[in-house]
A and B are shown apart, each in its own frame.
Chain A
Amino acid sequence: MIEAYGLGKTFRLTKSGKGMFGAAKALFSRAYTEVKAVEQVSFQIKEGEFVGYIGPNGAGKSTTIKMLAGILHPSRGEVKVAGYSPQEQRKEVAKRIGVVFGQRTQLWWDLPVRDSLEILQAMYRIDDAFYRQALLRYDDLLDLQEFMDTPVRKLSLGQRMRADLAAALLHNPPVIFLDEPTIGLDVVAKKKIREFLQQINRVEKKTILLTTHDMDDIEQLCERIILINHGKVVLDGTLRQLREQIGLPSVMVIEYRDEPSVRDALPWQGVEKVEQEGNQLKIHFDKTKLSAPQILAEIGRWGEPVDIQIKEPEMEDIIRMMY
Chain B
Amino acid sequence: MVYWRIIRKSYIRNLQYRIAHLINNVASAIFGFVYMAIWFGVLDGRAGSSPYDQQTMAQYITLTQCLLWVTTFHTPGLGIQNGVRTGAVSTDLMRPISYFLYVMSMEFGKVVYSFFYRFIPVGLILGSIAGFSFPLQLQTYLWFLLSLLFSVYLGLLLFYITGISSFWTTEIRWSHYILITLIFGLGGQMIPVELLPGLLGKLSLYLPFSGILYAPAMIFLERIDPDVIVMQAGWAMVLTLTALFLTAKARRKVEVQGG
Contacts and interface: CB of A to CB of B under 8 A. Distances in A.
User: Do A and B touch each other in the complex, judged by CB within 8 A?
Assistant: yes
Could you say which of A19, A22, A24 has the most chain B C-beta atoms within 10 Å of its C-beta? A19
Contacts of B19: 17-22
Please classify the interface of chain B as helix (H, G, I), strand (E, B), loop, or mixed, using the class held by over half of its residues: helix
B20 interface: yes
B23 interface: yes
A32 to B, nearest CB: 20
Nearest to A19: B20
A19 B16 CA distance: 9
B134 interface: no
A20 B23 CA distance: 7
Contacts of A21: 19-20, 22-23
Contacts of A17: 19
B16 A18 contact: yes
Contacts of A18: 16, 19-20
Contacts of B16: 18
A225 to B, nearest CB: 42
Interface in B17-50: 17, 19-20, 22-24
B21 to A, nearest CB: 8
Nearest to A25: B19
A266 B152 CA distance: 76
A24 B16 CA distance: 17
A20 B19 CA distance: 7
A19 B17 CA distance: 7
B113 to A, nearest CB: 15
A136 B22 CA distance: 57
A17 B19 CA distance: 10
Interface in A1-60: 17-22, 24
A170 to B, nearest CB: 35
Contacts of B22: 21
Nearest to A17: B19
A153 to B, nearest CB: 14
A18 B19 CA distance: 8
Interface string A281-309: 00000000000000000000000000000
Contacts of A19: 17, 19-20, 23
B103 to A, nearest CB: 27
A154 to B, nearest CB: 16
B24 to A, nearest CB: 7
Nearest to B18: A19
A18 B16 CA distance: 9
A139 B222 CA distance: 75
B15 to A, nearest CB: 11
A22 B24 CA distance: 13
A52 B234 CA distance: 71
Interface string A47-86: 0000000000000000000000000000000000000000
A17 B16 CA distance: 12
A21 B24 CA distance: 10
Interface in B158-211: none
B30 to A, nearest CB: 16
A85 to B, nearest CB: 40
A17 B22 CA distance: 15
18 contacts: A17-B19, A18-B16, A18-B19, A18-B20, A19-B17, A19-B19, A19-B20, A19-B23, A20-B19, A20-B20, A20-B23, A20-B24, A21-B19, A21-B20, A21-B22, A21-B23, A22-B19, A24-B23
Closest 7 CB pairs of A and B: A19-B20, A20-B20, A21-B19, A19-B19, A20-B23, A21-B23, A18-B19
Interface of B: 16-17, 19-20, 22-24
Given A20-B23, A21-B22, 13 more contacts: A18-B16, A18-B19, A19-B17, A19-B19, A19-B20, A19-B23, A20-B19, A20-B24, A21-B19, A21-B20, A21-B23, A22-B19, A24-B23
